[in-house]
Amino acid sequence: MRKFFLLLILAGIALGFIYPWAVQNFSGEELGTWHAYQDGRFKPVTVSLKAGTGPVRVFVDLTTNADRIQAFDRTVLTLTAAAGNRTVLAQRLSFSGNPTPREQSPQLTDKIFRDEAGLIAVDEADTYVFTLGLGDADNLQIKAVDLVLRSGAAVPDARIRQAGFGLIGFGVFCLMLAIRFGRSRLPDSPEAPPKPRWGRGGNAA
């Protein structure tokens, strides 16, 4: 039964964590990559999106020489997306949720961190202007900043995630019970046999 409960926990991890990560990073079709940082300065990125390409998931790739970004409570970059006179997306990016960045090449020490800025619902064809800028995090050397757009991106089903968390909780609870009752069923250690009354080591009357 313990193996069965372990399988339940693994299935819960797959549904609760791996499934949404895979949907966010691999669903849809990549539209392209645009450079938003050049010669030490940010530049606006203008992209024309056709109707029917939404929802469009927006990613930002940050290239730096740091091995890890510790900025959970701070903002590394800011991003706004506007179409016409309306802002359709505004997000602060910390890049702290990416513990394993990509390497630009084996010969370089630079790392590429990715953060998701959100989704844009493209109901009709329009021109979108993406503007990136610095946040309040300092002591970070920026080498490059790229905007990545993915069309037709799916949204993780919250019910599947909740089912995954439920399986994890149920599996852990049942596994703890199985371990506890398994230990209680173990036979007690046998008592030492009584010493012989006669012979070597015995007690003479």
Does the domain at residues 28-151 carry the CATH identifier 2.20.28?
A: no
% of the chain with per-residue pLDDT over 90 = 26
Cβ burial of 128 (10 Å; 0-12, 13-18, 19+) is: buried
- Residue 108: count other Cβ atoms within 10 Å of its Cβ: 11
Query: pLDDT tens digits, residue range 119-172?
Result: 898 888 899 999 999 988 777 888 999 999 988 665 666 787 788 888 888 888
Query: pLDDT tens digits, residue range 1-44?
Result: 777 878 888 888 887 777 676 766 666 688 999 999 988 899 99
Q: Is the pLDDT of residue 100 over 70?
A: no
pLDDT of residue 4: 81
Q: Is the pLDDT of residue 62 over 50?
A: yes
Q: What backbone torsions phi and psi does residue 99 show, to the nearest 5 degrees? A: -75, -20
List Cβ neighbours of 157 (8 Å cut-off, separation of 6 or more).
Answer: none
Instruction: List the chain domain ranges.
Output: 28-151
- Residue with the larger pLDDT of the pair 170 and 199: 170
